[in-house]
A and B are shown apart, each in its own frame.
Chain A
């Protein structure tokens, strides 16, 4: 191959005078330099003029692009927020799982069936259902000289606590024994003072939904 090129060059030197060869080379060089200059300027012009054109001629299309970008960004943010919310919900669910198809009247019925044997008469029932983020509270006017009982029933591991407040707002009884860490199913009180008493129901440890019933009853 090398031999072939050398031979070709020798033929050129022999066939054409060196001046002609020099002129040809010179013209080639000039055209190359010119071409480079033209291409370079064109490239530079392209680079500088394109954003200006975008700003002026294609203003609407840029705005559209920006809007779509913003919308996409918003959508992404919304998606992120939704994901976060769902995550939070899942955490809440874990802390406070819902109890489906709760039947508080069933619990109330179970309690009232036990009243007759203990000599108590039914007075009022309380359905305990719904989220347990705050206690369920009721008030009732208790009369002096009457014995009252508050009986509760709930699902097995509910740790449902009843607190009784006197008319002055002082806690006078709780079904949770903190010393022995024990829950009792009822409170009895022989009322010595007629007044409005508050009964509060809450879950002591877990935050699952309320699902149970309570009955206020009396005997003389």
Chain B
């Protein structure tokens, strides 16, 4: 009797497990089919962090703007007065990215008062998102006041933002990380395109054209969250911007890289290069689209 009972129990368990696996398999299969149909590189939760880590800091473009000899323009920055408009997490995360980029821009130009004002915006957005504790507000504020500590200031700001992204990832809130990055990238593209319209600069134009790679990465990240309506709208706007970037012609030349030793450092002489050809019309189109996206974000 006991044997019969155990046999029945085992068979039932096997049946239940098999049914459960079937449902999981069908779920994965449907997801895969969706991705294959959409024809995009698959991003899953595990690879989001890797994708986020690849995105370059807006600081580089801010540095190029300064190195181009273009004057600081406060009117280009988002006003901290706007922060009362940002009541939902979607807007708060995007504008945390916007204020962070503006803060970096102000810091590079050593505009300490603007930097401190922007720092308030960053802190408020971070507090609203319940990640303010990871932002060393007082320390950054002190560093902003002393001009000889710019390197420390940039490092601390950058490290704090990386820390925030890591914490959000740990809290399973990577959608906010993607929004912070998107907001920051759109803002620095806004600064670069506005500046280059006022004072044409080849280096800056090349940098804008090269942002196609970064835009592609951000679109892929947003695509993962396309089931959320607001994320999908933002995704679609950036997909439209991608169409303008596709008009840029990239010509590549091949060559072998080699490394030499100079003063105790390995110096790479990279072989081959890539040149971007962007027409004035394309630049104007990109400028207009970026401004429209950015104004929607900050409004």
Interface residue from A121, A140, A174, A187 paired with B54 (Cβ < 8 Å): A140
**A124 to B: closest C-beta gap in Å:** 7
Q: Are B270 and A143 in contact (CB under 8 A)?
A: no
Q: How far is the CA of A31 from the CA of B55 in the complex (A)?
A: 110
Chain B's closest residue to A186 (CB) is: B265
Please give, as numbers and ranges, the residues of chain A lying within 8 Å of B50 by CB-CB distance: 139
* Residues of A in contact, count (CB < 8 Å): 41
Q: Are A122 and B151 in contact (CB under 8 A)?
A: yes
**A39 to B: closest C-beta gap in Å:** 49
Q: Please judge, given known A-B contacts A141-B54, A220-B64, whether A189 and B268 are in contact too, CB under 8 Å.
A: yes
Could you say which interface size class chain B belongs to? 35 or more
Q: Are B67 and A123 in contact (CB under 8 A)?
A: no
Chain B contacts with A in 23-69, Cβ cutoff 8 A: 50, 53-57, 59-60, 63-64, 67
Q: Are B259 and A172 in contact (CB under 8 A)?
A: yes
B217, B259, B274: most-surrounded residue (chain A CB, <10 A): B259
Q: Please judge, given known A-B contacts A172-B268, A172-B270, A188-B267, whether A141 and B64 are in contact too, CB under 8 Å.
A: no
Please give, as numbers and ranges, the residues of chain A lying within 8 Å of B268 by CB-CB distance: 164, 172-173, 187-190
Q: Please judge, given known A-B contacts A122-B151, A184-B266, whether A143 and B60 are in contact too, CB under 8 Å.
A: yes
Please give, as numbers and ranges, the residues of chain B lying within 8 Å of A55 by CB-CB distance: none
Is B159 an interface position by the 8 A CB rule? Answer: yes
Q: How far is the CA of A112 from the CA of B271 in the complex (A)?
A: 29
Q: Are A145 and B206 in contact (CB under 8 A)?
A: yes
**B177 to A: closest C-beta gap in Å:** 15
Q: Are A194 and B266 in contact (CB under 8 A)?
A: no
Q: Are A123 and B270 in contact (CB under 8 A)?
A: no
Q: Are A140 and B151 in contact (CB under 8 A)?
A: no
Q: Please judge, given known A-B contacts A112-B155, A121-B59, A121-B63, whether A186 and B272 are in contact too, CB under 8 Å.
A: no
Is A47 an interface position by the 8 A CB rule? Answer: no
**A166 to B: closest C-beta gap in Å:** 7
Q: Please judge, given known A-B contacts A144-B274, A196-B213, whether A187 and B158 are in contact too, CB under 8 Å.
A: no
Q: Are B67 and A220 in contact (CB under 8 A)?
A: yes
Q: How far is the CA of A187 from the CA of B206 in the complex (A)?
A: 25
Q: Are A112 and B151 in contact (CB under 8 A)?
A: yes
Q: How far is the CA of A173 from the CA of B214 in the complex (A)?
A: 24
The majority secondary structure among interface residues of chain A is: strand
Q: Are B154 and A122 in contact (CB under 8 A)?
A: yes
Please give, as numbers and ranges, the residues of chain B lying within 8 Å of A191 by CB-CB distance: 270
**A178 to B: closest C-beta gap in Å:** 12
Is B273 an interface position by the 8 A CB rule? Answer: yes
Give per-residue flags for A159-183: 1 if the beta carbon is below 8 A from chain B beta carbons, else 0: 0000010100010111101000000
Is B114 an interface position by the 8 A CB rule? Answer: no
Interface residue from B217, B261, B272 paired with A177 (Cβ < 8 Å): B261
Q: Are B158 and A141 in contact (CB under 8 A)?
A: no
Q: Are A122 and B56 in contact (CB under 8 A)?
A: no
Chain B's closest residue to A164 (CB) is: B268
Please give, as numbers and ranges, the residues of chain A lying within 8 Å of B162 by CB-CB distance: 124-125
B56, B67, B203, B264: most-surrounded residue (chain A CB, <10 A): B56
Q: Are B53 and A139 in contact (CB under 8 A)?
A: yes
**A199 to B: closest C-beta gap in Å:** 11
Q: How far is the CA of A58 from the CA of B264 in the complex (A)?
A: 84
Give per-residue flags for B143-156: 1 if the beta carbon is below 8 A from chain A beta carbons, else 0: 00000000110110
Q: How far is the CA of A27 from the CA of B257 in the complex (A)?
A: 119
Q: Are B158 and A190 in contact (CB under 8 A)?
A: no
Is B124 an interface position by the 8 A CB rule? Answer: no
Chain B contacts with A in 78-115, Cβ cutoff 8 A: none
Is B210 an interface position by the 8 A CB rule? Answer: yes
**A161 to B: closest C-beta gap in Å:** 11
Is A79 an interface position by the 8 A CB rule? Answer: no
Binding site for A on B (CB under 8 A): 50, 53-57, 59-60, 63-64, 67, 151-152, 154-155, 158-159, 162, 203, 206-207, 210, 213-214, 217, 252, 257, 259, 261-262, 264-268, 270-274
The 3 lowest CB-CB distance pairs between A and B, nearest first, are A194-B210, A122-B155, A189-B268
